[in-house]
């Protein structure tokens, strides 16, 4: 006869909330696993009434979406929490933000209003600061990348080294010079499999135009959400904030 966990089953899910948080400063070097562990400890400290999975090793029901790569900062990371009791979203945001370390900052919290959050996220807008690179050389490299139909790069993945097309994922890219020795690349990138990361786009710029940065690039995700027809990225929490059927795109 199969064993069953002792004690009553966990309380049912009463509601779900969705958070937008930032990963800033030195904490951009946290891996996704480190971020998840830090959040779980903070949820306990803040007394958030989490719903738990059943079984012999219950764990809080947390759904992560589209985590930024290790080393990249972000203003638009998302997580969904399943709760065993109803809460005030703003009180949850304030309480959780207070117990998280500076650099992991909770920016918004809204009750989930139907549908899947994952269905609302298929692109990101990035800003990449390139110390040691001039605006004209980056602009020329971007023009050459956008002129191509296919630009393949190679990267190590968990399944070994893999070649994939970067160009198909790049919706738009533009260079904005900060000064003579530092350029800022802004781009919108579709979420693909494997994911095309900012470093992959920089590798592609090196492939098509020999672009190299003399110092490590500094990548920041500015937005994450549904790609709109005009090339912008829609806020995935807009529907939760404004009501079903009113997602702004």
DSSP string, 122-163: -EEEEEEEEET--HHHHHHHHHHHHH-S--EEEEEETTEEEE
Token pair for residue 116? Answer: 């899947």
Q: Which DSSP category does 178 fall into?
A: E
Residue ranges, comma separated, of all CATH 3.30.70.580 domains in the chain are 15-112
Tell which CATH classification among 3.40.630.10, 3.20.20.150, 3.30.70.580, 3.40.50.970 matches the domain 15-112. 3.30.70.580
Q: How far is CA 248 from the centre of its chain?
A: 19
28 three-class SS: helix
Each residue's pLDDT tens digit, 131-165: 999 999 999 999 999 999 999 999 987 777 889 99
- Is the bond leading into 194 cis (omega within 30 degrees of zero)? yes
Each residue's pLDDT tens digit, 36-89: 999 999 999 999 999 998 877 888 999 999 899 999 999 999 999 999 999 999
Cα 184 from Cα 132, distance rounded (Å): 11
Fold entry, domain 120-233? Alpha-Beta Plaits (3.30.70)
Question: What pTM was estimated for this model as a whole?
Answer: 0.90
Contacts of 158 (CB under 8 A, 6+ apart): none
């Amino acid at each position: 006869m199969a064993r069953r966990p002792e004690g009553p089953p966990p309380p049912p899910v009463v509601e779900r909330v969705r958070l937008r948080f930032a990963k800033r400063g030195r904490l951009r070097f946290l891996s996704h696993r480190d971020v998840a562990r830090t959040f779980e400890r903070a949820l306990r400290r803040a007394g958030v009434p989490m719903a738990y999975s059943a079984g012999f090793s219950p764990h809080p029901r947390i759904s992560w979406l589209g985590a930024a790569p290790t080393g990249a900062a972000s203003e638009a990371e998302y997580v969904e929490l399943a709760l065993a009791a109803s809460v005030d979203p703003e009180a949850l945001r304030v309480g959780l933000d207070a117990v998280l370390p500076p650099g992991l900052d909770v920016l918004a919290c809204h009750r989930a209003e139907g549908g899947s959050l994952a269905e609302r996220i298929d692109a990101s807008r990035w800003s990449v600061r390139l110390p040691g690179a001039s605006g004209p050389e980056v602009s020329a490299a971007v023009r050459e990348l956008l002129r191509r139909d296919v630009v393949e790069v190679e990267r190590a993945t968990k399944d070994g080294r893999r070649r994939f097309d970067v160009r198909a994922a790049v919706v738009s890219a533009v260079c904005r010079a900060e000064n003579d020795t530092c350029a800022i690349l802004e781009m919108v990138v579709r979420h693909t499999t494997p994911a095309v990361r900012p470093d992959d786009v920089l590798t592609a710029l090196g492939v098509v135009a020999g672009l190299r940065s003399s110092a490590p690039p500094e990548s920041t995700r500015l937005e994450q959400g549904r790609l709109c027809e005009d090339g912008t990225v829609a806020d995935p929490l807009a529907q939760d904030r404004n009501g079903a059927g009113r997602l702004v795109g």
